Structure 1
Amino acid sequence: MTPAQLVFDLDGTLIDSAPDIHAAVARMLAGEGLPPLDLATVTSFIGNGLPKLVERVILHSGLDMRTHPRLTRATLEQYNAAPAALTRPYPGVVAVLTALQEAGHPMALCTNKPEAPARAVLRDLGLAPFFPVVIGGDSLPVTKPDPAPLHACIAALGGGPTIYIGDSEVDAATAQAARVPFALFTEGYRKTPVADLPHAVRFTEFHALPAALAQISLS
């Protein structure tokens, strides 16, 4: 049987990027003469792409929403200056990706992070060789939870049976919309109880992912 195609989310799934996102937001707010938000607050804003994150920061900080385009650009510039200074893969990610690749699973990345910084992070953390296909939040006119980015990944890998691996409400909704089985990493940035997120399997540590994927029927 041909190994399933595997499409991964990035932030909160493969990598803990919240510290770098938090730092970029803090530098943007400093430019507006405002104090930083705490890490937990910024982490709670992650998941729907950078423009939405900045929108949430603006609302939380009492800024004028008319500044949204400028502050989104400023935050992206701050983030791009050091996208992987504090970011690290979750424990076991590299070993598991290596094993899955050696087992013949084609792999792609489907993220709401803009494509250029997503590729930069993959490169800086040594993860780029696992992902010949990368669809970012600005690769298409729409972002997750619209199924189009996931469908684009599936098509680019060849169109075979596919499993989507992610950590959040957005990822669960994307998989559901695309009619693709969803493997939930429970230790990422989700805000909803695990039982309330639709998923085929779940895992709390990456070493358990191959066994979890083996439980999914793709017939």
Structure 2
Amino acid sequence: MRPALIFDLDGTLIDSVPAIHSVSNAVLVERGYPALSVDEVRGYVGKGAPHLVRCLLQSAGQDPDGPLFDEIYAELVKRYETEVEGNTLYPGVREALETLKAEGYKMAVTTNKPLAPALAAIAHVGLEDMFDLVLGGDSLPTRKPDPEMVHEAQRRLGAEKAVYLGDSEVDAETAQNAALPFVLYTEGYRKTPVHDMPHTVSFNDFKMLHGIIEKLSCP
């Protein structure tokens, strides 16, 4: 049986930082706080919307767990669902996924981004027909690097084996916690050198992905 392919979203399939940067600054500036640079916001991405909101509040000199948290979280998620410009596919993603889907691989996305914004971003870049399942950061009680989201995806896909694909330190830890092979996309949001991140195989071009998956699928 072919393994299920479980993908991270931001930094793996799509470059979402421009969109997240725009939404984050809109929320901050409307309340009179200074705008942040792209690099600052990029450093906040990957651990889910609650983490992002806490980082935004801290940057504004506010209590990250204080009374503004719920208000800013709600506004951020609301904007996430409609302000999708700036989400773009990495080169070759669509073609690679089409090839794998045509060969019968079941594919899922597991992301710490809330589910509704994740689905909106996936639709915006034209990948809504590629996946059998999408789980977001609010789909389960836990988020990555807890392995439950990946395990749940594997269960729902009915797959005995799975491969996890991501770009970041959180993804590497998730794969380790889930005891799954980890395919590392090196052009995403990682901060750690590739050789210092635990992974099964790495790649920097989606043209390479089919061959990697075929090798990992061999008994």
Q: For residue 102 of structure 2, what is the aligned residue in structure 1?
A: 102
Q: For residue 172 of structure 2, what is the aligned residue in structure 1?
A: 172
Q: For residue 11 of structure 1, what is the aligned residue in structure 2?
A: 10
User: Could you tell me whether the CA contact under 8 Å between 1:201 and 1:215 is conserved in 2?
Assistant: no
User: Could you tell me whether the CA contact under 8 Å between 2:16 and 2:86 is conserved in 1?
Assistant: yes
Report SS of the residue matched to 2:163. strand
Q: For residue 111 of structure 2, what is the aligned residue in structure 1?
A: 111
CA distance in 2, matches of 1:217, 1:210: 10
Report SS of the residue matched to 1:152. helix
Aligned-pair RMSD on alpha carbons? 1.3
Give the C-alpha shift of residue 212 in structure 1: 2.2
Report SS of the residue matched to 1:184. strand
Confirm whether residue 91 of structure 1 aligns to residue 91 of structure 2: yes
Aligned residues: 217
- Give a deviation string over 1:14-36, Cα, whole Å, max 9, x none: 00010010000000001220121
CA distance in 1, matches of 2:82, 2:104: 35
CA distance in 1, matches of 2:215, 2:168: 21
Confirm whether residue 68 of structure 1 aligns to residue 69 of structure 2: yes
Among all aligned residue pairs of Structure 1 and Structure 2, give the percentage whose two residues are the same amino acid.
43
**CA shift in 2, pair 1:55/1:72, >3 Å:** same
- Give a deviation string over 1:136-184, Cα, whole Å, max 9, x none: 1000000000000000110111122110000011111111001000000
Report SS of the residue matched to 1:216. helix
CA distance in 2, matches of 1:48, 1:210: 28
User: Could you tell me whether the CA contact under 8 Å between 2:15 and 2:90 is conserved in 1?
Assistant: yes
CA distance in 1, matches of 2:202, 2:110: 18
Give the C-alpha shift of residue 218 in structure 1: 6.5
1:142 alignment partner AA: T
User: Could you tell me whether the CA contact under 8 Å between 1:161 and 1:218 is conserved in 2?
Assistant: no
Report SS of the residue matched to 2:129. helix
Unaligned runs of 5+ in 2: none
Give the C-alpha shift of residue 88 in structure 1: 0.7
1:106 alignment partner AA: K
Report SS of the residue matched to 1:54. helix
Question: Aligned runs of 1:15-164 on 2, under 5 Å?
Answer: 15-65=14-64, 66=66, 67-83=68-84, 85-164=85-164
Q: For residue 186 of structure 2, what is the aligned residue in structure 1?
A: 186
User: Could you tell me whether the CA contact under 8 Å between 1:200 and 1:216 is conserved in 2?
Assistant: no
CA distance in 2, matches of 1:80, 1:128: 15
Give the C-alpha shift of residue 70 in structure 1: 1.6
User: Could you tell me whether the CA contact under 8 Å between 1:3 and 1:103 is conserved in 2?
Assistant: no
Q: For residue 201 of structure 2, what is the aligned residue in structure 1?
A: 201
CA distance in 1, matches of 2:32, 2:162: 47
Output the TM-score relative to the length of structure 1. Answer: 0.95
CA distance in 2, matches of 1:116, 1:218: 36
Report SS of the residue matched to 2:176. helix
**CA shift in 2, pair 1:218/1:138, >3 Å:** farther
CA distance in 1, matches of 2:63, 2:180: 39
Output the TM-score relative to the length of structure 2. Answer: 0.95
CA distance in 2, matches of 1:184, 1:64: 35
Give the C-alpha shift of residue 86 in structure 1: 1.3
1:39 alignment partner AA: V
Unaligned runs of 5+ in 1: none
CA distance in 2, matches of 1:136, 1:166: 15
